[in-house]
Structure 1
């Protein structure tokens, strides 16, 4: 997704639109922490301290993934390094999902993990969603708070697997972001 957005902005630049949507990074980080949750719980239940330590230490990896960004930020202050080099390094650093650059921030990854932890407790999932929506609204974001309306399909979910349209959505997500960017650029750029 990062390469797609960089290429699209290179072909059709628009200084008024920053295209950095990448829910895949958020999903990656959330699933990573879900795996660590399972390792942690297993270590606690089986009384295996090594598994507990492994889960806790691995939890720092998405935080350590921010180091390349700080490195590039430091390099950007050096006027001897050409801007195209800085831009290429930023793009490379953005290829590694990390806790600072994921779409929706830490809160969205935490919501995904919360949904996983409470996957057998739908009411708790809905409460988590509503609490996060309220916090988002109170912090001044007057669009993202509307995620609270996802409580309706969440409450109506019957627990059965859907049609299996995974591949469709892997294509739809980047394509719809690209189409919206192109329309925005051609109509308002």
Structure 2
């Protein structure tokens, strides 16, 4: 087959991820109207594909700070947009927790931390190592701070919303601690078979827990076909398409449900 011979570019992986993601979100939005549960299965490999793509992107970008900033702004915008949508449109049957940008931004923090620690050991300077450790711990610290505040008596709703929008807490990430797969993939970015083994181990863990997330193992099919080529650029498209399709599907489902 042509695909087996030529392989898949980064662009191809993104297209596959986006296609599966849309099917998954159709299931999410239309569950109250009887959308079949098996549609959700299509979404299980999506995060793994995007995690892999983010490792490739972060490894090759010329400006890591700009790469991280785009994801952070996307995270904030997505949090504000989903909150506003749920305030404006009554559709309580679906809770919008979608924010893959948070997962990917936290992933870049972990990758940046690894780079800093490596730099510190290479130059034998302590400061980069300390910086790297602190950056790596920050998503966990944010989660603890948020948990402590939300556990107080009568937490202020606006403060909670601000924290949810601005803080990269790993425990409020869409895929939670599964985001730790990103730094693991980054550590072995030049060893695809080890990356495949790590993905398989995580999938086995989910299978043991009885979670359908074990189907993430099917992400290995396109990932192992990755040919190292960038292909066409899809950067700006994804930043626009992701929030747009969530909003459109949510509004469409709300209108249909109430009529």
1:53 aligns to 2:130 (yes or no):
yes
Residues 60-103 of structure 1 show CA distances to partners (whole Å, capped at 9, x for unaligned) of 221221213421331437xxxxxxxx332221110111121111
Q: Greater RCO between the two (CA within 8 Å, min separation 6)?
A: 2
CA distance in 2, matches of 1:127, 1:185: 41
1:157 aligns to 2:203 (yes or no):
no
CA distance in 2, matches of 1:145, 1:166: 28
Residues 119-165 of structure 1 show CA distances to partners (whole Å, capped at 9, x for unaligned) of 111111111111112212222222x2222111111111110112111
Equivalent pairs counted in the alignment come to 179
Residue 188 of structure 1: CA displacement? 4.0
Q: Which has the higher helix share?
A: 2
CA distance in 2, matches of 1:174, 1:104: 17
How high is the TM-score relative to the length of structure 1? 0.86
Show the counterpart of 1:42: 119
CA distance in 2, matches of 1:183, 1:149: 30
CA distance in 2, matches of 1:130, 1:177: 29
1:132 aligns to 2:202 (yes or no):
yes
C-alpha root-mean-square deviation of aligned residues, in Å? 1.8
Show the counterpart of 1:76: 154
How high is the TM-score relative to the length of structure 2? 0.64
Conserved in 2, the CA contact under 8 Å of 1:29 and 1:99? yes
